[in-house]
Amino acid sequence: MGKSTSAGILQKLGVAVIDTDQIARDIVQPAQPALAEIKREFGERFVDEKGELLRKELAVEVFRDPAKRAKLEAILHPRIREVWFNAAQKWRTENKSIAAVIIPLLFETNAQSAFTATICLACSAGTQIQRLRQRGWTDNELQQRIAAQWPVEKKIAQSDFVIWTDTTIEAHEAQLRHLMER
């Protein structure tokens, strides 16, 4: 939908940003408690010889089985929330006038109440599929991930603001700049 692009634009505009996708990668690094718990729950086969999580292989496993995905989310989501929540608290004590937490599953994890305002990044289904294919995902993987999220129309309805990302980078940036100026 354009989360990474938006995060980069916001940072360029001087907005403090934390991305939960990056947090998710950080907390499963070798020797991290979340990785140890994933190994216990899902087995050693999802960790390579360097001790790193085989993310793609684990994703294939959990996206075909909702119960396994729920187990993984139970391991990751509380830890992810703690990191972004602590960052947001720090920004509040620093009196930052604006900051952004990039959360792909904002409404699905019921995190929206922690924020003053929510912004939905949205694009057409065709653009979303094209962007996900650029990541090398198969049609089955695309469908599984899209099905694991709320429909974009529902997210739009729940959001305070919408940034339409099915456009040029310049137009995307102009929308964010306009919103930040408000």
In the structure, what pLDDT confidence band is assigned to residue 126 with cuts at 50, 70 and 90? Answer: confident
> Structure pTM?
0.86
- As given in the structure block, the two tokens for residue 118 are 């929510």
DSSP state of 40: H
Q: What is the pLDDT of residue 68?
A: 96
Q: What pLDDT sits at residue 77?
A: 96
A 10 A CB-CB count for 27 gives: 19
**63 within 8 A of 144, measured Cβ to Cβ:** yes
**Euclidean distance between CA atoms 102 and 61, whole angstroms:** 25
The pLDDT value recorded for residue 103 is 95
Token pair listed for 50: 């360097």
Q: Residue 137: what pLDDT?
A: 81
Please tell me the predicted confidence (pLDDT) of residue 3: 87
**Structural domains in the chain?**
3-181 (3.40.50.300)
- Maximum CA extent, the chain: 50
What would the mean pLDDT of 65-81 be, rounded to a whole number? 96
The contacts of residue 118 (CB under 8 Å, 6+ apart) are: 106, 112, 158, 159, 160, 161
* Residue 87: pLDDT over 90: yes
Mean pLDDT of the chain: 92
